Each structure stands twice: as C-alpha cells, then as structure tokens.
C-alpha cells in the first residue's frame, strides 16, 4: 500500500511538471524544443518572396506558426528544385498531429529561421512526382525510411504569402 502511494505521488508530480511545461511553452515565444509554443514575438519581419529557400538545405529544423490557430512548432524542412517543403509523417495520427489538418484548412503561416520571420502559405502537395522526390530527400536528409505513400507522408510547399 505504501509503495502505491509513493508511485501515485511520483506520477502526480510528473503530470504536474508536464502540465507546467506545456502551459509555459504554449504561452512562450515559439516552440520549446519538443513542445508546441505560442505566437512568435521575436525575429525581424522579412520578405518571403526575396528569401533564398535553398539556404534551408543545410538547416536541420525551422520553426513555423500557423495564423489560425496560433500555435508554433519546430519541423523538418527540405528543398527540392529551389522550393522549400515541410514534411509531415503520420498525418492521420490526429491525437498527436493536428497541425497538418489545420494547415490544410488555413495554410497561412509564419516561418522563423535565422532570426527572421516570413509570412508564408503552406500548400499541400499531392502531385505524385514531387511527393515521391520530397519523400526521397526527407529519407536521405533525416535518415528515415523512404515513403511515397501520401497517406503516410504529407508534404507542404512553403510559398510566399501574397
């Protein structure tokens, strides 16, 4: 009985710490590592149309924030033929990944990289050739299994917002 009380106390303490971290991340300036964050508060606004997206080829992750709902996260980014893409594996796991469905409903977003913020539009790509090539680049860059299955991997192109 005493062991159960101790275990219960440990579990309760861990849940409390997790709740505090999640709350702090959601109200902070961007994502906090693994945890989604709040609206971007720092970073100079810059023109997405003038940005050289190929510079993301050597960048592991970028941050992006959806305009609606306002929530930010850290994601992978790859470049194919001069355009930047955000891959999303397991998009049907909606308990964990709501952002791809939110981006599909309203693709307006802000990308933050290199201390600058860019107003962009996330456009889901369904064209099989581009989808397969981006899937290959993702697998190579991040050492993951390659997939061209559009049910297992969604691909969003990052376009300047007009």
CATH code (residue 62)? 2.30.110.10
Cβ 65 vs Cβ 72: under 8 Å? yes
Q: What is the pLDDT of residue 19?
A: 60
- Residue 145's alpha-carbon distances to 33, 63, 110, 142, in angstroms, are 23, 23, 29, 9
Pairwise CA distance, residues 118 & 111, whole Å = 5
In a domain, 135, yes or no: yes
**Distance from the Cα of residue 91 to its chain's centroid:** 12
Q: pLDDT averaged over consecutive 10-residue blocks of the chain (162 residues)?
A: 74 69 60 82 92 94 93 94 93 79 95 95 94 94 84 92 86
Tally of domains within the chain = 1
pLDDT at 23: 58
| Residue 4 included in any domain | no
């Amino acid at each position: 009985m005493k062991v159960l009380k101790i275990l219960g106390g440990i579990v309760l303490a861990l849940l409390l710490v997790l709740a505090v971290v999640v709350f702090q991340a959601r109200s902070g300036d961007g994502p906090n590592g693994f945890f989604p964050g709040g609206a971007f508060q720092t970073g100079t606004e810059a023109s997405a149309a003038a940005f050289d997206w190929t510079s993301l080829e050597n960048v592991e992750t970028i941050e992006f924030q959806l305009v609606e709902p306002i929530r930010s996260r850290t994601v992978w980014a790859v470049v194919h033929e001069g355009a930047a893409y955000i891959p999303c594996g397991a998009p049907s796991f909606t308990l964990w990944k709501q952002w791809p469905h939110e981006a599909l409903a309203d693709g307006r977003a802000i990308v933050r990289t290199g201390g600058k913020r860019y107003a962009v539009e996330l456009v889901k790509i369904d064209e099989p050739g581009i989808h397969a090539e981006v899937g290959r680049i993702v697998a190579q860059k991040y050492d993951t299994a390659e997939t061209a299955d559009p049910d297992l991997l969604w691909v969003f192109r990052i376009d300047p917002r007009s």
